[in-house]
């Protein structure tokens, strides 16, 4: 039992391997393009990550060169002051009268103390925002230092402590916390914003960071920061990266260009390889019919009874002559058939009844030993068409060959008839063979197509016959219809427009 399981697993793996191999062999261009696109996308992703990481690193290390000038002038403007010129006066106006009361509440009632300090801070912060003079200060600094860049600013308070008579600081505001009695619109994760529109302050944009305090009773300590950053900071960072971005872009363009050139050359080489393969396959396929007919005719000539029958001998001799001429034409034309997908035909007036009759005669000689019943219903009157006799004979013989090869009936029946209808002249070839499904009919004219389940198990072949038939039909500017049902035979209708 274990051995059987191992054998099944081995067979299953072999089937999977054969399926993949067949797919790779039949769809090489798709596989190549898909693999290349996936590799390119992976490479592009890696390139993007490297560029992004470089940008992020430069952005984190970005330093605005005029920040030092702003820092020096801003610091000088707030000496002995808080936040901005006049800021200390505003804060003192609210805190100084409340020191004694706050000291008492802190000692007696913590909840009342917290409530009172929050109300006090709300008033202070609103007053600071309303009476701030940062705008005019920054305008004067920019004018003095000849700064023309558009800047974003942020002035934030992060901590306030009170010192009572015991010379110990008591915290009343910490920017990391939220306070219910302070206007929530003013409270941010980065502290309480007094002035500015800079949304994401960082160490690179920091101009000033001060913690101001006095070691005397009834004072306060305040910690605040001031940030300044150019509006076009991102463009400045990208400007620093321009060499790397240019090289990265050029390398990606070079890869795409090389891929396109390589793909075109590969497809060209593959086409040349296919031409060689088609040439060999066409020789094998196209030479088979006339050689078989000549061999059968020659074998019949060697029959003593045929040697005594001059009429039969003449008929066999004519078959050998026709097929010899056909071989001669094949030698000159098979290279063109293999090299191009669109055939060129040389049309001449042909008596269709006689042309089809001669083709069927040669065909019947080839399959004289097969149990074949061939019926020909010629057109009731003489009819002439413009056709290339060589290519017409080839396409009709290919259809007839398939009618015999893909037929499992004890008696193989083929009917060939010529009729007319509103679409034009019709040459109808019907058989009682294995037939085809609708799915198979969709692909039967594709080069090398052979339906694995329905065809290859019955006969060997290269899948070129019906592909060539379609080429001949298109070259003559005719039409071809196929009607078939699995197990019930097939009908090919060649339509020659009037």
Q: What is the pLDDT of residues 427-444, one digit of tens each?
A: 999 999 898 888 888 888
CA 104 to chain centre: 75
Residue ranges, the chain, pLDDT below 70? 1-29, 58-64, 271-272, 274-286, 329-343, 369, 448-463
pLDDT of residue 419: 92
Residues 242/256, Cβ–Cβ less than 8 Å: no
Round to whole Å and give the CA distance between 207 and 56.
21
pLDDT of residue 23: 52
Q: Tell me the whole-structure pTM to 2 decimals.
A: 0.45
User: Coil, strand or helix: which one is 154?
Assistant: strand
> CA 175, 178, 181 angle in degrees (round to 5)?
115
475, 481, 485, 490: CA torsion to nearest 10: -70
Residues 217/164, Cβ–Cβ less than 8 Å: yes
pLDDT of residue 46: 84
Round to whole Å and give the CA distance between 496 and 498.
6
Angle between helix 242-301 and 310-339 (nearest 10)? 170
Q: What are the beta bridge partners of residue 339? A: none
pLDDT of residue 456: 45
User: Coil, strand or helix: which one is 171?
Assistant: strand
Round to whole Å and give the CA distance between 438 and 429.
18
Residues 388/346, Cβ–Cβ less than 8 Å: yes
Tokens of 288: 């088979």
Tokens of 241: 């990266």
323 closest CA partner among 361, 352, 368: 361
Tokens of 151: 């800047």
411 closest CA partner among 373, 452, 374: 373
Task: Enumerate residues 6+ apart whose C-beta is below 8 A from 106.
Answer: 113, 164, 170
Q: What is the pLDDT of residues 296-349, one digit of tens each?
A: 777 777 777 777 777 777 787 777 877 777 777 666 555 545 444 556 788 899
**How many angstroms separate the Cα of 381 from the Cα of each of 165, 353, 377, 385?**
132, 9, 12, 13
pLDDT of residue 406: 87
pLDDT of residue 490: 92
Burial (CB count within 10 angstroms: exposed 0-12, middle 13-18, buried 19+), residue 402: buried
Round to whole Å and give the CA distance between 292 and 312.
18
Round to whole Å and give the CA distance between 467 and 475.
12
Residues 225/209, Cβ–Cβ less than 8 Å: yes
pLDDT of residue 467: 82
pLDDT of residue 319: 79
Round to whole Å and give the CA distance between 151 and 228.
6
Question: Strand (E) positions, 41-190?
Answer: 151-163, 169-174, 187-188
Residues 427/416, Cβ–Cβ less than 8 Å: yes
Q: What are the beta bridge partners of residue 492? A: 429, 482
């Amino acid at each position: 039992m274990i051995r059987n399981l191992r054998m099944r697993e081995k067979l299953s793996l072999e089937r999977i391997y054969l399926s993949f191999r067949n797919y790779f062999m039949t769809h090489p261009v798709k596989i190549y393009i898909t693999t290349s696109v996936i590799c390119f996308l992976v490479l592009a992703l890696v390139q993007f990550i490297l560029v992004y990481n470089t940008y992020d690193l430069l952005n984190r290390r970005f330093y605005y060169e005029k920040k030092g000038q702003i820092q020096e002038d801003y610091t000088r403007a707030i000496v002995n002051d808080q936040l901005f010129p006049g800021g200390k006066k505003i804060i003192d106006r609210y805190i100084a009268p409340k020191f004694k009361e706050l000291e008492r509440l802190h000692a007696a009632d913590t909840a009342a103390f917290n409530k009172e300090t929050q109300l006090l801070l709300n008033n202070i912060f609103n007053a600071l925002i309303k009476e701030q003079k940062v705008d005019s200060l920054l305008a004067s600094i920019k004018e003095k230092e000849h700064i023309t860049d558009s800047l974003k600013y942020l002035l934030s308070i992060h901590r306030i402590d009170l010192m009572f008579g015991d010379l110990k600081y008591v915290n009343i505001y910490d920017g990391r916390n939220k306070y219910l009695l302070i206007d929530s619109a003013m409270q941010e994760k980065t502290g309480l914003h007094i002035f500015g529109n800079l949304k994401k302050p960082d160490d690179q944009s920091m101009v000033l960071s001060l913690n101001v305090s006095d070691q005397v009773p009834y004072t306060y300590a305040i910690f605040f920061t001031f940030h300044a950053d150019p509006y076009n900071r991102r463009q400045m960072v990208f400007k620093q990266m321009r060499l790397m971005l240019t090289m990265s872009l050029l390398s990606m363009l070079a890869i795409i260009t090389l891929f396109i050139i390589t793909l075109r050359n590969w497809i060209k080489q593959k086409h040349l390889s296919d031409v060689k393969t088609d040439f060999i396959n066409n020789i094998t396929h196209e030479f088979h019919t006339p050689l078989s007919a000549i061999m059968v005719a020659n074998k019949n000539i060697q029959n003593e009874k045929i040697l005594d029958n001059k009429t039969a001998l003449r008929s066999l001799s004519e078959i050998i002559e026709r097929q010899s001429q056909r071989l001669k034409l094949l030698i000159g034309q098979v290279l063109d058939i293999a090299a191009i997908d669109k055939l060129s035909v040389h049309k001449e007036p042909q008596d269709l009844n006689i042309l089809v009759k001669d083709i069927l005669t040669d065909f019947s000689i080839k399959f004289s030993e097969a149990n074949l019943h061939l019926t020909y219903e010629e057109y009731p009157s003489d009819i002439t068409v413009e056709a290339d006799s060589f290519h017409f004979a080839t396409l009709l013989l290919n259809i007839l060959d398939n009618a015999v090869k893909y037929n499992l009936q004890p008696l193989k029946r083929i009917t060939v008839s010529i009729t007319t209808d509103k679409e034009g002249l019709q040459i109808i070839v019907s058989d009682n063979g294995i037939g085809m499904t609708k799915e198979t009919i969709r692909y039967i004219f594709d080069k090398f197509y052979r339906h694995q389940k329905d065809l290859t198990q019955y006969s060997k072949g290269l899948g070129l016959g019906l592909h060539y038939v379609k080429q001949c039909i298109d070259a003559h500017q005719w039409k071809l219809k196929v009607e078939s049902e699995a197990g019930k035979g097939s009908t090919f209708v060649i339509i020659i427009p009037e």
